[in-house]
Amino acid sequence: MKVLVIGKGGREHALCWSFAKSPNVKEVICAPGSDGIRSVARCVPIEETEHEAIVHLVKDELIDLVVIGPEAPLVAGLADELKEEGIRVFGPSKQAAQIEGSKEFAKDLMEKYEIPTGAYRVFDSLTPAIEYVKEQGAPIVVKADGLAAGKGVVVAMSEEEAVTALEQILDEKQFGEAGARVVIEEFLEGEECSLMAFMNGETVVPMVVAQDHKRAFDGDRGPNTGGMGAYSPVPHISKEAIKQAEQTIVRKMARALKQENCSFTGILYAGLMMTSDGPKVIEFNARFGDPEAQVVLPRLITPLDEVIFSVLKHEEIDVEWCEETVIGVVLASDGYPGSYDTRVPIDSSVFKQQSGPFFHAGTRELDGEWMTNGGRVGIVTGMDRSLEQAQKSVYTVLQDAQTDGLFYRSDIGSRAISASSPSASSEGKKQ
């Protein structure tokens, strides 16, 4: 078969890489793709926003399956337009994608169907929002309601920090229309993890869990980002807690969306906090997480296309996953998630490690030289029998590479390692 992946980032590189390994797939096409993705797919220069051109591409190329990687085209209704043309697509409708496109929509749905999450209030003006923060106290979480590329969340440890975030979002329009409303949430304490599932209506096939690292710098300091690294499995979160989350959160949300007449087809991502009261939802996304996809997909043994086609036929397939640990560390441009320079040279030795693939994100090849072309440049992965060994392989690559103008967290996975071995430590470049 021929598969088309929509997107151009690290997540889409991982999807193309995974499809390219399948014995059932004769060609992977990516639109628009990137210089890095060209190693595993034929890239076609059609942007995610060019819906009509994408439809024509699918018909001209006789493509059998379309998988939409990023959230923006999903929220813009690309899946609907493809389905209207009789095209097989794995991605939610515009209505169902509101689970990510509007945090207010998601929180209201969780409240209605008693899906465990933190208490919240929604505001569209500054004064009452500030008053609410002062009533509740800190720590407290401030979120732009709409899509903000993973950067519209502030975990405020003080009231002053929360007020500043509200001013930036509501008054200064830091995120434009995405911040026309804010959701102010209860701060949840516990261990965080990401649980993704293949879904079609009430057919749910959960994946193995991963743990992302959202803060920019070591020790979970600095601003929130789109993700600075991840690993899977997450050994210090019990199988019982994960099963509970599958039942009380993921499957319950699948039923809720169906009852609301916006049945979900695609990847449902549940960002969870394992609290003392059980798992609770931090956020829902309508697609693979990034960087979670880059550490979960390498563990997938069953061909990705077989899983998707089974779910589309409402079959809860028994998916095979490898037991090894995969860790991924994001290499980012200095200044990210704020302003940063592009066209910074990249030491290509980071692409050639033996223990796992390098997934390109913000890279570009110019005259045979690799340059940065975004905030998150790429993710160095390692796969091994243990998290310690996988972590060591990744940080050895990064430590030996020239990373001027770039940075990375040196503690991805260290919390899990210290949970079982308090003396364990990681190596890497400090920020």
pLDDT in tens, the chain (431 residues): 999 999 999 999 999 999 999 999 999 999 999 999 999 999 999 999 999 999 999 999 999 999 999 999 999 999 999 999 999 999 999 999 999 999 999 999 999 999 999 999 999 999 999 999 999 999 999 999 999 877 789 999 999 999 999 999 999 999 999 999 999 999 999 999 999 999 999 999 999 999 999 999 999 999 889 899 999 999 999 999 999 999 999 999 999 999 999 999 999 999 999 999 999 999 999 999 999 999 999 999 999 999 999 999 999 999 999 999 999 999 999 999 999 999 999 999 898 766 789 999 999 999 999 999 999 999 999 999 999 999 999 999 999 999 999 999 999 999 898 876 644 334 334 33
Residues of the chain with CATH 3.40.50.20: 2-91
Task: Tell whether domain 191-312 is in CATH 3.30.565.10.
Answer: no
Instruction: Pinpoint the alpha helices (H) of 273-313.
Output: 292-296, 304-312
Q: Cα 231 to chain center, whole Å?
A: 12
The whole-number pLDDT of residue 149 equals: 74
Homologous superfamily (CATH) of 325-420 is Phosphoribosylglycinamide synthetase, C-terminal domain (3.90.600.10)
The C-alpha torsion from 236 through 241 and 242 to 247, rounded to 10°, is -170
Residues of the chain with CATH 3.90.600.10: 325-420
Contact 63, 57 (CB under 8 A): yes
- 361-370: long-range contacts, CB 8 A cutoff, minimum separation 24: 361/9, 361/10, 361/13, 361/36, 361/290, 361/330, 362/9, 362/333, 363/34, 363/35, 363/36, 364/34, 364/35, 365/35, 365/36, 369/345, 370/35, 370/345, 370/346
The CATH number given to 125-180 is 3.30.1490.20
Task: Give, in degrees to the nearest 5, the angle at Cα 272 between 268 and 277.
Answer: 135
The whole-number pLDDT of residue 162 equals: 96
Residues of the chain with CATH 3.30.470.20: 191-312
- Cα distance between residue 263 and residue 265, in whole Å: 7
The whole-number pLDDT of residue 419 equals: 77
In sequence order, the 6+-apart residues with CB closer than 8 A to the CB of 131 are none
Question: 2-91 has which fold?
Answer: Rossmann fold (3.40.50)
In sequence order, the 6+-apart residues with CB closer than 8 A to the CB of 403 are 331, 347, 429
